[in-house]
Structure 1
């Protein structure tokens, strides 16, 4: 398994439109082409900066997925429409990452944060609050 870290800097005033394009179109197209999203962030210090991590089984799968995505007629249409008044992305960097052999990843279930407070939340003794 390989991971790819991608960082985008939106053109001035375009960050919201870039986020909308990801949310409304790009994630679906990624899934269609085997680009598995791991996580997605915005940068607190630089709000025009978007960072995300994807993964692939191997380098061949990565190359095939990006090639197919880049040639997808729906992507080409979405990109053209979203950039009708100018480009949304000023810069983009990509880094392919390999896991080091001495790191054991956290099991996915252990890394998931609860979406709701446990049923006992708010019932702990006052001294524990």
Structure 2
């Protein structure tokens, strides 16, 4: 109901009432309320986990072949991967020169698609010609390790991104205590990632490993730092943060949530989609 002042003939400048259907007002209020709730329901940093299937591959080169294997990916391999529907996510090498490894992540629509793509890749005449050319003087790779993963709902959207300034990456692998993985994920979801951001550590990607025989998956994730030195400094500051000290103590009243935490600092190759 709205009050208005009359202005027409015979109105005597008096007040009169305009009646509007209250249903319209209620509808507009409801739409506004539900829109706000919808916007707040899912934080932008936590989109629903992607259904893509991921594979982390670690290449250990033959002695003296480290640069050759890195270069083969640069010139040939990544392009042939894409040809067969294998998405290049990121390519990294350890910052420690003593660790001569090439670590990269591929994404596929599914496990079946992964197997099909690798079969087609292995029999591709173009790839076979590359192998013959690059291995004329001997094999380049001593062994390859594969880790199969699914994206965690903790993860920001995983997509190619090149920062304006060079970054150092950190691959962290958490082995949860028996039956404590849900608690660990909850702690990351509610507290850890926010505290990482507070201390200038960028959340890049989070995965859960695929396991067999009912084993508990591992949590693997990647952080980005301005440099290795700053990454270590920021992690020290994170560990001393009063809020983190309380969160850790409260969440581990019944014991530690992890049995092992591994950290590996990495630098991206010049052809990595994520840099």
- What is the number of equivalent residue pairs in this alignment? 113
Contact 1:11 1:48 in 2 (8 A): no
Larger Rg: 2
Aligned to 1:125: none
* Partner SS state of residue 127, structure 2: helix
- 2:92 is the counterpart of 1:41: yes
Aligned to 1:85: 137
* Counterpart Cα distance in 2 of 1:108 and 1:91: 27
- 2:140 is the counterpart of 1:106: no
1:29-68 counterparts in 2 under 5 A?
29-45=80-96, 46-68=98-120
Deviation of 1:47 after TM superposition, in Å, equals 4.2
* Counterpart Cα distance in 2 of 1:112 and 1:26: 20
Deviation of 1:107 after TM superposition, in Å, equals 3.0
* Partner SS state of residue 156, structure 2: coil
* Counterpart Cα distance in 1 of 2:124 and 2:162: 35
Aligned to 1:119: none
Q: Which is bigger in relative contact order (C-alpha 8 A, separation at least 6)?
A: 1
Using the size of structure 2 for normalisation, the TM-score is 0.39
* Counterpart Cα distance in 1 of 2:161 and 2:72: 26
Alignment CA distance shift 1:113-1:32 (3 Å): closer
* Counterpart Cα distance in 2 of 1:5 and 1:105: 16
Structure 1 runs (4+) deviating above 4 angstroms are none
Unaligned runs of 5+ in 1: 117-129
